[in-house]
């Protein structure tokens, strides 16, 4: 009976350590996601008049990053992405049917916790965006932040995210699901 107790403890420790390290790949990762972008803006602008956009559209994101894997159970990463929010419909001064398309390049830092193959993370960074609307364009560099959850299986990762982009005079909320692969 005495040899069974150490054997049971050893098997338990191996099982726990295997669960802790599941999905702990550090290194370069690439991925993509698709989701819903929402824009809500209603204001009176000096040279344009009444502007009202309250719409959502399907957007997509292609991203890549590097997970440092320095601390057990903690993820620290840097990530860059191209994001296309789609086309929003609304009114722009005298135009009752105006379109507004927004896309941009992002750079962010991520910090998260690994709970076995499941993890949660937060991100903060910046987006350099470009918006085209009927009769003009606008661009800028503004902050972004978000939260997400992921499920790792070896080097493959599924993730769901909520991101908020605080652009000049308006905000875009982006809810997405995607996948990534760590090399």
pLDDT tens digits, residue range 132-183? 987 788 899 999 999 999 999 999 999 999 999 999 888 999 999 999 999 9
d(CA 60, CA 123): 18
Q: Enumerate the domain spans of the chain.
A: 4-182
Q: Which of 100, 96, 97, 79 is nearest to 88 (CA)?
A: 100
Q: CA-to-CA distance for 25 and 65, rounded, in angstroms?
A: 12
pLDDT score recorded for residue 18: 44
Tell me, which fold does domain 4-182 have in CATH?
Porin (2.40.160)
What pTM does this model have? 0.82
Residue 11 has a pLDDT of: 53
CB 54, CB 42: distance < 8 Å: yes
Q: Rounded distance, CA 82 to CA 70, Å? A: 27
Say which range, 11-20, 22-31, 37-46, 97-106, has the weakest mean pLDDT. 11-20
pLDDT of residue 101: 95
168: phi then psi, degrees, rounded to nearest 5: -40, -70
pLDDT at 91 exceeding the cut of 90: no
Under the banding of pLDDT at 50, 70 and 90, the label for residue 72 is: confident
Looking at residue 21, its pLDDT comes to: 44
């Amino acid at each position: 009976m005495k040899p069974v107790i150490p054997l049971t403890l050893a098997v338990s420790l191996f099982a726990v350590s295997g669960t802790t390290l599941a999905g702990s790949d550090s290194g370069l990762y690439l991925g993509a996601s698709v989701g819903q972008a929402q824009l809500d803006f209603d204001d009176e602008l000096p040279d344009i008049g009444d502007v009202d956009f309250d719409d959502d559209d399907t957007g997509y994101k292609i991203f890549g990053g590097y997970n440092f894997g320095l601390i057990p159970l903690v993820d620290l990463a840097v990530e860059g992405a191209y994001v296309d929010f789609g086309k929003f419909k609304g009114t722009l001064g005298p135009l009752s049917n105006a379109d507004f398309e927004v896309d941009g390049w992002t750079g962010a830092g991520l910090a998260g916790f690994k709970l076995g193959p499941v993890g949660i993370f937060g991100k903060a960074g910046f987006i350099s965006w470009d918006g085209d609307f009927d009769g003009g364009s606008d661009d800028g560099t503004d902050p972004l932040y978000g939260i997400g959850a992921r499920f790792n299986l070896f080097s493959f990762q599924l993730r769901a995210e909520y991101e908020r982009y605080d652009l000049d005079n308006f905000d875009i909320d982006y809810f997405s699901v995607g996948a990534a692969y760590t090399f």
